[in-house]
Chain A
């Protein structure tokens, strides 16, 4: 049976954000791309269980997340490459834009507990609602909300941030100038 054109479009359209999600979960581009590929294979093999009219992207995220979870349990003892490969793909990041801050942010993110990290990414970056994120993670909406809150608080702690002025040298300079110190 040839692939339905609308399915093909929806699946390919979801690939960029699936990759971003996968990379932020496992911190390794090659592994993330394998994860996305396995997700697409699973999804297309089970396309009959997709309910037309519902959110294809959320469905694919759920498959990817569950697959990662089962893989993650298997590979728990492997050292996560939270920096190396990720840093490589992000070489194109403009040098002038708070490079140190950006690096610190990624390191802090990789230190979050898995549950908190995925909740924060789904809501804060992938643009899912709390309800959608709860469906993807198979938990209650309130659980997602509290994970997101804890993730934000923990990130700020890890980065030693109390106010926006603690970010980046530009902001510090401006704050000093403004306060006349």
Chain B
């Protein structure tokens, strides 16, 4: 068949994104996201939950 023709490099505008492009975009997206995830839990949120918890305990006793 025309295997050689299909290997021709991206001269035509692709109707669908190639897997390689999708993979690379996905990688970028995750690296951006994980940069924030890897910052962990900032103190303000631990403090917030502690405060809420203490208020709750006082009310309960």
Could you tell me which A residues sit within 8 Å of B by CB distance? Answer: 1-3, 8, 11-12, 15-17, 19-20, 23-24, 33, 36-37, 40-41, 44, 89-90, 92-93, 101-102, 105-106, 109, 120-121, 124-126, 152-153, 155-156, 161-164, 167
A162 touches B39 (CB 8 A): no
* Bound Cα distance from A163 to B57, whole angstroms: 58
| B34: chain A residues within 8 A (beta carbon) | 20, 125
Docked Cα-Cα span, A36 to B45, in Å, equals 9
- How many chain B residues touch A (CB < 8 A): the figure is 39
The reply to whether B44 and A37 form a contact with Cβ atoms under 8 Å apart is yes
Residues of chain B whose beta carbon lies under 8 Å from any beta carbon of chain A:
9-10, 13-14, 17-18, 20-26, 28-42, 44-46, 48-49, 52-53, 56-57, 59-60
B37: chain A residues at CB < 8 Å are 16-17, 19-20
Chain B residue with Cβ nearest A167:
B24
Taking CB atoms, residues of chain A closer than 8 Å to B41 are 12, 15-16
- Chain B min CB distance to A73 (Å): 25
Instruction: Look across to chain A and name the residue whose beta carbon is closest to the beta carbon of B35.
Output: A90
Residues of A within 8 A of B31 (CB): 102
A163, B44: Cβ atoms closer than 8 Å: no
A16 to B24 CA separation, bound complex (whole angstroms): 23
When A37-B45, A164-B20 are in contact, do A2 and B25 touch as well, CB less than 8 Å?
Answer: no
Q: Are B36 and A162 within 8 A (Cβ)?
A: no
New A-B contacts (8) at CB < 8 Å, excluding given A89-B35, A163-B10: A1-B59, A12-B46, A19-B37, A20-B33, A105-B28, A109-B29, A125-B30, A156-B25
The answer to whether A92 touches B33 (Cβ under 8 A) is no
What are the residues of chain A within 8 A of B44 when measuring CB–CB?
A: 33, 37
The answer to whether A3 and B45 touch across the interface, beta carbons within 8 angstroms, is: no
Partner of B33, one of A36, A44, A126: A126
